[in-house]
């Protein structure tokens, strides 16, 4: 994957998470993965079309998801109810939308689809023939795997 395509997603994720959580976001070792992979306890999936096509995924534990939406919404969540799920989907939507704006400024047109949420560890997912750039992010609320599968 080209760095000029991936970088806006990393910058957007870092910016949105730091803004929402009020702390620094660290980045782990970036890697490229192919083939099937396991869904996290919570995985937000945002489709991308236009000059790019594929999806961006935000994979995390339920504890991380609950901590993030709790901070975003200023209330405590003990379970991943409809409001909490909506918050996780919106997080993916905001990050991907901000990355789309950065891409547009660079001359790359990309449209995003409404987010989908997969809840429950163990389900197999696949980006088919599109390699995924996996960027581990460490937040004060817990780790998130940003996965960019675009061609």
Query: For 19-50, what is each residue's pLDDT tens digit?
Result: 999 999 999 999 999 989 988 899 999 999 99
Model pTM score: 0.93
Question: Please, which residues have CB within 8 angstroms of residue 21's CB and are 6 or more apart in sequence?
Answer: 68, 71, 139, 140, 141
Q: List the CATH number of the domain containing 20.
A: 3.40.1550.10
End-to-end CA distance of the chain: 8
Task: List the single range of 11-15, 35-39, 143-147 with lowest mean pLDDT.
Answer: 35-39
Separation between Cα atoms, residue 147 and residue 40, nearest integer Å: 12
Mean pLDDT over 77-81 rounds to 93
1: confidence class by pLDDT, cuts 50, 70, 90: low
The pLDDT value recorded for residue 3 is: 63
Which of 64, 118, 63 has its CA nearest to residue 89?
118
Taking the CA of residue 116 as centre, how many other CA atoms within 13 Å lie in the half-sphere pointing to its CB?
A: 9
pLDDT at 52 over 70: yes
pLDDT in tens, 88-143: 999 999 999 999 999 999 999 999 999 999 998 778 888 888 999 999 999 999 99
- The structural domain count of the chain equals 1
Q: Which domain holds residue 141?
A: 3-150
């Amino acid at each position: 994957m080209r760095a000029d395509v991936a970088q806006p997603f990393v910058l957007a994720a870092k910016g949105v998470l730091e803004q929402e959580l009020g702390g620094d976001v660290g980045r782990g070792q970036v890697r490229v993965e192919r083939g099937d992979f396991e869904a996290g306890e919570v995985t937000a999936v945002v489709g991308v079309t236009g000059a790019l096509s594929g999806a961006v995924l935000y994979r995390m534990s339920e504890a991380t998801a609950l901590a993030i939406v709790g901070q975003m919404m200023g209330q405590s969540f003990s379970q991943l109810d409809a409001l909490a799920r909506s918050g996780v989907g919106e997080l993916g939507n905001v990050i991907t939308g901000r990355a789309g704006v950065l891409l547009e400024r660079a001359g790359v047109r990309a449209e995003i689809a409404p987010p989908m949420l997969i809840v429950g560890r163990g389900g197999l997912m696949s980006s088919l023939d599109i390699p995924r750039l996996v960027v581990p992010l460490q937040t004060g609320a817990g780790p998130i795997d940003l996965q960019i599968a675009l061609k």
